[in-house]
Amino acid sequence: MTCFRCCSKNEGGQTILQGKTYLYLIPAVMAAILVACYPFDLFNRIFVLPPERQTVREEEVLQTVARIKDNVTIGSTKQEVAALFGDRYVLVDDQGDLENGCDEFWLYRFFTEEDYQSSVPDHVIDQEGIRSGKVGAAFFIGWKDERVYLYTIAYLQGPNRNLHVYSNVNGTRAEEILNPDGSMAPVD
């Protein structure tokens, strides 16, 4: 009697695997051994940026944010912004949600993982993407008569990795922390 279709008895009555079916078991056994032998933080060491790389990336994000704040003003032209940040922006369809007098919207996503797709519309802050590190910073621009009318920057900063939202609307600048529940808090 055999235990599975892949098994049979030899002349000595021992159960043996037929053909090369046993080859399918080798990867499963190896995976079980690897899981048992490696520490539980293996996933983080392989798939999460090491702390020194996170620090470098955070510095790059903060440098980009500073570059935006220093160089983009209300009234800057599309050509000036494109000269600073290139033409890799998303032309945003606000679906009529934004009633702020703008003619057009652009969205730049900086330090974004390759093939990342946001689960929210482009005119909504991608909290999940930014908090997970799949997006380093999001720079949203509202245009009126071919000039910057307003803009916001969303990015992580600080030891608690708070989601900061910096806005410049009609020359009024503000920076707040966007909490996971959607509420806003002042920056300390």
pLDDT tens sequence for the chain (188 residues): 434 444 556 666 665 555 555 555 565 666 655 555 554 444 444 444 555 555 568 999 999 999 999 999 999 999 999 999 999 999 998 766 667 789 999 999 999 999 999 999 999 999 999 999 999 999 999 999 999 999 999 999 988 899 999 999 989 999 999 999 999 999 97
- Per-residue pLDDT, 188: 78
Does residue 112 sit in the same domain as residue 91? yes
Domain hosting residue 161, numbered range: 50-186
Q: Is residue 23 part of a domain?
A: yes
- Per-residue pLDDT, 3: 47
- Per-residue pLDDT, 78: 98
Does residue 54 sit in the same domain as residue 22? no
Which residues does residue 185 pair with via DSSP β-bridges, in sequence order?
A: 177
- Per-residue pLDDT, 9: 60
Count of other CB atoms within 10 angstroms of residue 54 = 14
- Per-residue pLDDT, 33: 59
- Per-residue pLDDT, 101: 84
Does residue 36 sit in the same domain as residue 115? no
Amino acid at 90: V
- Per-residue pLDDT, 94: 74
Helices 51-71/78-85 angle, 10° precision = 160
- Per-residue pLDDT, 10: 63
pTM above 0.85, yes or no: no
Does residue 58 sit in the same domain as residue 115? yes
Sheet with strand 147-157: strands edge to edge: 90-91, 104-110, 137-144, 147-157, 162-169, 172-178, 184-186
Does residue 109 sit in the same domain as residue 131? yes
Would you state the structure tokens that stand for residue 30, as one six-digit string? 């190896």
How many alpha carbons lie under 13 Å from residue 90 in its C-beta half-sphere? 16
Does residue 96 sit in the same domain as residue 164? yes
Domain count, the chain: 2
Q: β-strands 172-178, 147-157: how paired?
A: unpaired
Q: Is residue 12 part of a domain?
A: yes
Question: Contact, 173 vs 162, CB < 8 A?
Answer: no
Whose CA is closest to 59, among 110, 94, 125?
110
Q: Is residue 131 part of a domain?
A: yes
- Per-residue pLDDT, 43: 42
Does residue 107 sit in the same domain as residue 168? yes
